[in-house]
Amino acid sequence: MKSLVDTKDTAGVCILHHGHNVLLLKDKCEGWSIPKGHVKEGEGMLQAALRETEEETGIKLTQKAHSFHTGVKRAQLGKNKDKGLFQIFRCDIEYKIVPVLSHEHRSWKYF
């Protein structure tokens, strides 16, 4: 099976509890960020954002509304440090979900 190659583009999801507490992940270099990562070749921005969120937190989100969230919606588009696109999506959740962190992160917090 051919592995997918990263592009310069990145995507992530801003997970908000009741519209104001955002879930941030702390990486090994002590930086805080939303779940995010590189878009693979042939992958769409939303698909990448959902994949990265699940890989980094164990939280499986969908574009359509679900019992605990409003559905993932496009929020912001800009440029990243690699001069690729950076797409942020937004998802409001009903209750604070406890993430299961990947090896990339040390801790998490709702701010």
Average pLDDT over residues 35-43: 94
User: Which tens digit of pLDDT belongs to each residue from 94-105?
Assistant: 888 999 999 999
Q: Which token pair is 76?
A: 């912001």
Q: Residue 5: what pLDDT?
A: 81
**pTM exceeds 0.95, yes or no:** no
User: How much of the chain exceeds pLDDT 90, in percent?
Assistant: 56
Q: How is the chain split into domains, by residue range?
A: 6-110
User: Which tens digit of pLDDT belongs to each residue from 61-86?
Assistant: 888 776 666 667 777 777 888 788 89
Greatest C-alpha distance within the chain? 42
Q: What is the DSSP letter of 59?
A: -
Length of the chain equals 111
Q: What is the mean pLDDT of the chain?
A: 87
Reported CATH class of domain 6-110: alpha beta
Q: Which token pair is 36?
A: 């995010």
Query: From residue 105, how far is each of 21, 29, 33, 38 by CA, in Å?
Result: 19, 9, 10, 16
Q: Residue 3: what pLDDT?
A: 59
